[in-house]
């Protein structure tokens, strides 16, 4: 399971970088749709990039994985809330749901809940 957790860490980290760096224009539109401020968007983006970096570092230092995975899961749960709040279609909700599940998987492996 540890190898799958490493793959999950990379998927989460790469996904965050792609969305928050290369598809930033989409993020700007979504945060406006949700009624959230530019400051909130900046804080969320900074947190996600930092947590993604920690998930990559946790490949070499596994003890780092738990907290970033749980915090990222919280941010993905928050994304789900806002998607539901504005009644986005399922295809817009699925990426954050998938990343939420991956983060919970990483945390479960880190806690040895899954062998």
Per-residue pLDDT tens over the stretch 44-76: 999 999 999 999 999 999 999 999 999 999 999
pLDDT band of residue 115 (cuts 50, 70, 90) is: confident
C-alpha–C-alpha distance, residues 99 and 72, integer Å: 8
| Residue 24 domain-assigned (yes or no) | yes
Mean pLDDT over each residue of the chain, to the nearest integer: 96
CA angle centred on 21, ends 17 and 25, rounded to 5°: 135
Per-residue model confidence as pLDDT tens digits over 11-45: 999 999 999 999 999 999 999 999 999 999 999 99
| Residue 32 domain-assigned (yes or no) | yes
C-alpha–C-alpha distance, residues 76 and 99, integer Å: 7
Token output for 96 = 């954050």
pLDDT of residue 53: 98
> Residue 86 belongs to what domain range?
2-110
| Residue 115 domain-assigned (yes or no) | no
Rg, C-alpha atoms of the chain: 14
């Amino acid at each position: 399971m540890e190898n799958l957790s490493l793959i999950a860490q990379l998927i989460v980290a790469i996904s965050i970088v792609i969305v928050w760096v290369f598809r930033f224009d989409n993020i700007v539109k979504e945060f406006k749709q949700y009624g959230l401020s530019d400051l909130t968007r900046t804080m969320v983006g900074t947190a996600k990039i930092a947590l993604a970096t920690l998930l990559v570092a946790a490949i070499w230092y596994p003890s780092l994985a738990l907290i970033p995975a749980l915090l990222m899961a919280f941010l993905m749960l928050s994304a789900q809330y806002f998607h539901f709040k504005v009644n986005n279609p399922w295809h817009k909700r699925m990426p954050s749901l998938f990343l939420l599940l991956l983060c919970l998987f990483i945390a479960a492996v880190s806690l040895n809940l899954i062998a």
